[in-house]
Structure 1
């Protein structure tokens, strides 16, 4: 039985304000990819023209003689490229990429005939992205990938994106006396935060933020931890996975951000708190009907003993920050805090890099160049002492 799809003729307006008609029609399953195929026709001056073209295509489809038109537009190339791209990246990355194309690239470039795209067209749209988006360079890079794919398939000879001039963003100097708040806590602020968190009735939240503060792991890594990853004998934690959001907004387990597992040493206080939570978790979840002694039991799970929603940590955090009037910080800020305190404790840059799971030491230096005021004071004190010798 042939699958039917509702097909409606729609109007759209060209850039010159000319009104035209278009339609998109279902034309079967691609025997090679197993995916649904559609063909789009646009540019009709009247609805009657569109009606006739649609009727003709439907008749060809019914007779089994319809052949989809050869790839013509940037959007056509994208549909081919995205199938291959999905095979090369994590599911969460694939979802983010689709969003970038849907929101920015396809609205700008989708309708262009692929052979008509030139450097002027690319420059105009890159400039538009630069005026609206912080990560416009990334958008341009993704747009360019599709054109490179078209080159490999012989649809176009060169990539005009390679000739685009990239705008330089001018750094605005802040003349306000107050500096932008840093997204990390000092030693004293962290101690006060954890003291306030401990006073709350949400012991699970307290344990999670204690762990983030003293391990420096990413939130997704913490939420993917199972009890078998925690070695209470040697005070070690194995970090080899993370949770992320994939298709249909579903959470799933993937590798760490860098794809490399690491084992970190932990302080006895945090390990003691984790041990206490393991016991309480068993009691709490028995009442909910779950046995948490299973080998793959999550350290932090929801009331259905499934993945905890990553947005939950922000709600827990905001509650405490507002209630106790504490300096604002994000959940990721506790990773910044851990790094800052490691530097303040004179831990070597290589050790910090390994503990945080950065593949490149420059990442550690670039992202965490902001150290605490105490460390900044010590830097000038060292210079002052040196010059007075």
Structure 2
């Protein structure tokens, strides 16, 4: 029911809309400046008609930060992975830093476009794409809830970034892997100079192409020594490298759930490791928590990713390999060896757990180009003495 007030010679209407679901405050739409009460009543009837039809939108004064944080709480309860929640939280901070206390209903398409163009100059296209996706989700929800009339993210297209020569050179350097001879040298060194589990960890990474999170999440029930297979069904999520505060999540994509055959060498190494681990359990039986992890610490908890990275750097310093190798580089190394062995793209996709064939194709194309260049150099070296 509308209420009408007279102030001086003008009239105004006031219509109650309910309680704001976020601020819990009373929502009201009002307008003044009418010359007569009848004019105010006529205007109020149009508003009430919109209200009854559900087409009336009352813009809220709620700040962007308040709405975004409330949206994140709802998003986190929707069954998404904790890693996705952390990513959205990080992305929305790029908006909060400039619009935090500003009413979300006052953010225009021009403001959104300007902010996205600023970010596009600072970060990679993939990262800015993630920020834009987060912005779309927040403003779409605000419009659904009647907080805003216009979604400022609609029709916005992220411009293509003109790559510099430096950018192209960096892109070429992204896919790092060890040549077959380099891998043999590295694994030999890991066997002779490595610390506990070093040789096993890097051998399994190189021979299977597993992601580091998939490797650390492996349990003995995933290993079938009779069939010579490993079943990948989970990944370890431990962003803070805390011994006990980790989570086992479903893999990166549906295609990441897979069973792969492993080399007899790896089967043998794992069987020896199981015997050794049983000795550790017995030795540390009072403190050992048997959680069945293959790559377990001496207390039974899964090994930390940070430890693997530190051990890798330690070993690399002992070699003459001048590449910025990471644990993920062994996945690319495995891919390069599969290509060299003549394995097809579809088989490589299934073994690596790529849901999107384009991911496999991009890596395949990059590595094939690298091999062709290497072959050309080897041919030139072979033939140089024949040229007059």
- Normalised by the shorter chain, which TM-score bucket? 0.7 to 0.9
- 1:379 Cα deviation after fit: 9.1
Q: Is the 8 A contact 2:230 2:262 kept in 1?
A: yes
Q: Is the 8 A contact 1:242 1:253 kept in 2?
A: yes
The count of residues paired between Structure 1 and Structure 2 equals: 317
2:231 is aligned with 1:235: no
Q: Is the 8 A contact 2:288 2:299 kept in 1?
A: no
Q: Is the 8 A contact 2:61 2:105 kept in 1?
A: no
What is the DSSP-based 3-state SS (H/G/I as helix, E as strand, rest coil) of the residue aligned with 2:365? coil
- 1:113 Cα deviation after fit: 1.4
- 1:188 Cα deviation after fit: 1.1
Structure-2 separation of matches of 1:289 and 1:240: 28
2:113 is aligned with 1:117: no
Q: Is the 8 A contact 1:205 1:316 kept in 2?
A: yes
Match of 2:37 in 1: none
The 5 A counterparts of 1:119-198 are: 119-134=109-124, 135-174=127-166, 180=173, 182-198=175-191
- 1:161 Cα deviation after fit: 1.6
- 1:268 Cα deviation after fit: 0.3
How has the CA–CA distance of structure 1 residues 236 and 313 changed in structure 2, closer, same or farther, with 3 Å as cutoff?
same
Normalised TM-score (structure 1):
0.73
Match of 1:304 in 2: 299
**Gaps in structure 2 of 5+ consecutive residues:** 1-20, 26-59, 379-388
Q: Is the 8 A contact 1:217 1:335 kept in 2?
A: yes
- 1:108 Cα deviation after fit: 2.0
Q: Is the 8 A contact 2:234 2:251 kept in 1?
A: yes
Match of 1:101 in 2: 92
Structure-1 separation of matches of 2:224 and 2:247: 24
The 5 A counterparts of 1:338-349 are: 338-349=334-345
Q: Is the 8 A contact 1:344 1:371 kept in 2?
A: no
Q: Deviations over 1:105-157 (max 9, x none)?
A: 21122222122111111111112211222221211221221000001111122
Q: Is the 8 A contact 2:178 2:333 kept in 1?
A: yes
Higher helix share goes to which structure? 2
- Which structure has the larger Rg over C-alpha atoms? 2
2:272 is aligned with 1:276: yes
What is the DSSP-based 3-state SS (H/G/I as helix, E as strand, rest coil) of the residue aligned with 1:370? helix
Structure-1 separation of matches of 2:196 and 2:295: 11
How has the CA–CA distance of structure 1 residues 379 and 360 changed in structure 2, closer, same or farther, with 3 Å as cutoff?
farther
The 5 A counterparts of 1:48-67 are: none
- 1:300 Cα deviation after fit: 0.7
Normalised TM-score (structure 2):
0.74
Structure-2 separation of matches of 1:322 and 1:77: 50
- 1:240 Cα deviation after fit: 0.4
